Amino acid sequence: MARIVFPPPPVDSEQTRSFRTHASYIRAFRELALGEGTSSLNNAVAGLHASAVPVLFSPGGPPNACDRDQLLACLRRAWATARLLEHTHALAEDSEIIRLANSWGAVQAYYVLYGAAQALMVAEGGTRPQMHEPTKRRYVDLWTSRSLRIAPWTLAAAAPGSRLADADGILGGPGRALDFDLHPWVAWQGEQAWDIAAKALRSTRQLLVDDRLANKRREKLAAKKKQWRLDQEARATSGRKPAVEPKTVRLTTAEREAVAGAVRPATMADYLYRLRIKANYEDVTVFSNGPSSDREAIEVGADLVALASATLLVHELRIAAIIGADDLIKAMDAVLLHASGESAGGLAHRRDLHARLS
């Protein structure tokens, strides 16, 4: 098989800048989830267990009534996607193919969260959303609208002045002023993961705001053209010259503020969806051409794997608290029964953790 060779990108190329920015964002989310420097699945599970398993997640009380078949179907999709992400990264880690693998990894990381979140929605007695936007919107209710504080899942960017948000509009933050001027390319570390992750969410929400503003302008222009057509009829009847058809409109400050304030909080679900769209449609070669070295590509892949495994764990813990840990473990065992030791991956580690907690 011919070796794939990627030419080194210019240091200041647009794709390199984009890749480095998103690599920093992904690393920040992973560090908030698992702690600084944690990437391996063994350490990831241990780190999360030590820092983010409150009493709320301990199984207790009678199992909740819900559509178990639908719940487990959502979980199995998330588990299967996570295993694909893990195996692809493991197989491609020592080759240039890791760059191509990360393009799919960005998509897979989103679908891991998508399936896990939908499973939790069903576990809580709801129905499974059929599309992306309803899922992302309900994700806000799952995590950021409650008193629970487990970053990065409970971290969100809202409009400044929003209820429970800090002065900058951040929900679930660290309880201090965040440095939004901190550039994602600097050698940030430790507590600065909060600043970088918040910056990622704030920029993601701004994209939602920009899209809503564009829709508002289209609506306003359509209304203006409708009125123009009515005026033309009146002009023709009175014999006056036709007016020029309006081509653009401006939104007032009040209109812009109203639109921006109505946009819901943006969460990690929105960020990963943004990454999915970028890697799948908008800039399909950003992960292959963006890294300036294979090492950069390998690190991003490892961060995506660790973040996906941690995301599954926190959702599984909440699901176990609702339906009972025994049922969750049985479902995991049914999947692991058909998996070899090497392909069990994070699922086996998390299964053992659930068994110890039950």
Helix (H, G, I), strand (E, B) or coil at 171: strand
**Biggest CA pair distance of the chain:** 86
Residue (of 27, 81, 9) closest to 286 by Cα position: 9
d(CA 334, CA 27): 32
AA identity, residue 274: R
d(CA 314, CA 328): 13
d(CA 308, CA 89): 12
Residue 235: what pLDDT? Answer: 82
Tokens of 275: 């990454």
Buried b (16+ CB within 10 A) or exposed e, 7-22: eebeeeeebbbbbbbb
Instruction: Tell me the average pLDDT of the chain.
Output: 87
**Whole-Å CA distances, 76 to 209, 228, 235:** 34, 55, 65
d(CA 310, CA 30): 8
pLDDT < 70 regions, the chain = 1-11, 37-64, 340-345
Residue 147: what pLDDT? Answer: 73
